[in-house]
Amino acid sequence: MNRIEKVFQNLQKNNQKAFVPYIMAGDGGIDSLKEKITFLEKAGATAIEIGIPFSDPVADGPVIQQAGIRALKEGTTLKDVVAAVAEIRPIVHIPLLFMTYTNPMMAYGFEQFIKDIEASGIDGLIVPDMPIEQEELIVPYLEEAHIELIRLVTLQSPLSRIEEIAKRGKGFVYAVTVNGITGARSSFKEELGAHLKKVKELSPIPVLAGFGISFPDQVEEMITYCDGVIVGSKMIELFDKGDLQSIVDLIDASKIRASQL
Residue tagged active-site, from 5, 41, 60, 80: 60
Residue tagged active-site, from 5, 27, 41, 49: 49
8 A C-beta contact, residue 98 and residue 53: no
What DSSP designation does 209 have? E
- Cβ neighbours of residue 229 under 8 Å, at least 6 residues apart? 17, 18, 19, 20, 208, 209, 210, 213, 219, 222, 223, 254
Residues in the chain: 261
Give, in degrees to the nearest 5, the angle at Cα 64 between 62 and 66: 65
Residue 60 among the catalytic residues: yes
Q: How far apart are CA 44 and CA 93, in angstroms?
A: 11
Residue 49 among the catalytic residues: yes
In 3D, which of 124, 75, 120 has the Cα closest to residue 95?
Answer: 124
Query: By three-state DSSP, how is residue 259 classified?
Result: coil
Catalytic (active-site) positions: 49, 60
